[in-house]
Chain A
Amino acid sequence: MALVHIDGDDLVVVIEGLDKLWAFKSSLTIPLANVRGATADPGIAADPKGIRAPGAHLPGVITAGTFHLDGEKIFWDVKDPSKAVVIELADERYARLVLQVDNPRETVTLVENALR
C-alpha cells in the first residue's frame, strides 16, 4: 500500500508497512513538474513487468520494488491489482510508479488536479 499526497510543489509517495522492505523504499518525493499524469489501471498487473532488481515478486501475492522493462525503470508496490494507480514521470530515475492506493479514483483526481 502507498499513500500519495501533495506537499507544496512535490508529489510525495509513502510506502506503508512491510511493503517498504520488499520495495526497498519507504518514500519517494517527486517535483510535480516531473509528473505527467495519473491513471487508475487495474489491468496493468496482468502485463509483463520486466526484470526485477531489487525487490520482491511473488506472482499473485506482491509486486514490489524496481523493475526494468523496455529500457525503463518502473517502481511497483502492488498486492491488490484492482487498486493500482499508474503515475507517469519525466526526467526521473523511474519512468513510472505503479502503486496500490486506498482509493484509486481519489488519488487520480488529486494528482491530475495538482498538475493543472
Chain B
Amino acid sequence: MGRQRAFDEDEVVRAAVGVFGSRAYDGVSVDDLVTHLGVHRNSLYKTFGSKRGLYLVALRRHLADDVRPLTETLAAAPDAASALRLVTSADLGLLLLAAVERAPADEEVAAEVAAALAAIDQAIADALSISPALAAALTAAALGIVLRGNPDGVGTALTQRFD
C-alpha cells in the first residue's frame, strides 16, 4: 500500500492539460508545473515518474475529456457545416500542440494523436455518409481553420462545396 497522496490526482492532471495545452513542451519547466499544479516536486516525480510521464497522462486525459465527446457529438452532425463548426469550436489546444510539436519526436504521442484524429475522421464519415478520405480532408481543413484563427467566411466557403 502506498502512502496517502496529499493531492487530488484528477485535478492535477486536468490542470496539466491546461498548462501543456497553452505553451510549448520545452517551455514548461518542472517549476512551472509545481507552481500551476500546486503539487510538491517530490509528489510529482513519485506519481508521474517524469515530466514526459505527466505529459502522456495529461494528453490521454485531454483525449478522453475533450476529444471523445467531440467525436460523439460529431456522429450526430446533420451536415458538413455543423461538423466543421463543432471541430472549430472544440477545445483542442493540447491535441494541436501535440500534433505539431511532440508527435514528430515521440512515438507514443504520435500514436495517441493519430488515433484521436482517426476517430474524428470516422465520426465525420459516418455522420455525413462520405468516404473516410474525404472526412479526413474535412478534419484537416477544420484544424487548419482553427490554426488560422477561424477567419470569417472560410468555413462557409468550404462547406458550400460539400452540400
Residues in A neighbouring B45, C-beta threshold 8 A:
39, 86, 88, 96
Which of the segments A24-32, A40-48, A54-62 contacts the partner chain? A40-48
In the complex, how many residue pairs between chain A and chain B have their CB atoms under 8 Å apart? 50
Residues of A within 8 A of B82 (CB): none
Residue on A with the closest CB to B29? Answer: A43
Contacts of B53 in A (CB 8 A): 36-37, 88
Given A39-B30, A116-B107, A116-B108: A44 and B50 interface contact (C-beta under 8 Å) = no
A69 near B29 with CB under 8 A, answer no
Q: Could you show 8 A-B contacts with beta carbons less than 8 Å apart?
A: A39-B30, A39-B50, A42-B29, A44-B41, A70-B42, A72-B46, A96-B45, A116-B108
| Bound-complex Cα distance A36 to B44 (A) | 12
A112 at the interface (CB under 8 A from B): yes
Instruction: Verify if B51 is at the interface (C-beta below 8 Å from A).
Output: yes
Give the number of chain B interface residues (Cβ < 8 Å). 17
Alpha-carbon separation in the docked complex, A95 to B46 (Å): 8
With CB as the reference atom, state the residue of chain A lying closest to B48.
A37
Chain B 128-148 interface residues, beta-carbon cutoff 8 Å to A: none
B148 to chain A, nearest CB (A): 31
Other-chain contact of B50, A47, A88, A95 (Cβ < 8 Å): A88
Chain B interface mostly: helix
Given contacts A36-B50, A41-B30, 16 further A-B contacts (CB under 8 A): A37-B48, A37-B53, A41-B41, A42-B29, A44-B30, A44-B41, A72-B42, A86-B50, A88-B45, A88-B46, A88-B49, A88-B50, A96-B45, A108-B50, A116-B107, A116-B108
B31 at the interface (CB under 8 A from A): yes
A: residues with CB less than 8 A from B are: 36-44, 47, 69-72, 86, 88, 95-96, 108, 112, 116
How far, in whole Å, are A39 and B34 apart by their CA atoms in the complex?
Answer: 14
Chain A residues, CB < 8 A from B42: 69-70, 72
Per-residue CB proximity of B106-131 to A under 8 Å, as 1/0? 01100000000000000000000000
Q: Is the CB of B41 within 8 A of A38?
A: no
Q: Which 8 A-B pairs have the closest CB atoms?
A: A37-B50, A36-B49, A37-B49, A43-B31, A39-B51, A41-B30, A39-B50, A88-B49
